[in-house]
Amino acid sequence: MLTLGRLEVGIVRWDGEQVYALRNVCPHAGGPVCEGRLGPRLTTKRGEPMQLEVDDSQPTVTCAWHGWEFDVRDGRAIAPGNGLQVRSYPACVRDGVVLVDLGATAGR
């Protein structure tokens, strides 16, 4: 977690290369979303509803307050149809330094 100006931002390095930045505020109840669990997305295996598959290509963070999950890449909620989104920012590593553009919003 970093404080950038007046914002708390969580920085995530995924799969050794990709870097993402999320504002540390859950849109559901204002909790510190970046203090939650970080991991790959778990999905139901097709045709077998009682079995789960791990999707390592989709990093998610789970809000510590209520367990809501968000896609780290763009901040969108995993639950379909709720429309909530954690603010995300474009981030990259240049010369060993993480750069975050607080004036923009990241997307897929």
For 39-55, write each residue's pLDDT tens digit: 999 887 777 777 888 88
According to the model, what pLDDT value does residue 65 have?
A: 93
Question: What's the predicted TM-score (pTM) here?
Answer: 0.84
Say if residues 63 and 28 touch (Cβ distance below 8 Å).
yes
| 58-to-15, 31, 34, 78, 106 alpha-carbon distances in Å | 10, 22, 16, 10, 15
**Buried/exposed 29-38: b ≥16 CB within 10 Å, e otherwise:** eebebbbbee
Give pLDDT < 70 ranges for the chain. 106-108
Q: Which residues pair with 42 in a beta bridge?
A: 54
Q: How far apart are CA 25 and CA 27, in angstroms?
A: 6
According to the model, what pLDDT value does residue 107 have?
A: 57
Domain topology for 2-100: Rieske Iron-sulfur Protein (2.102.10)
According to the model, what pLDDT value does residue 26 have?
A: 93
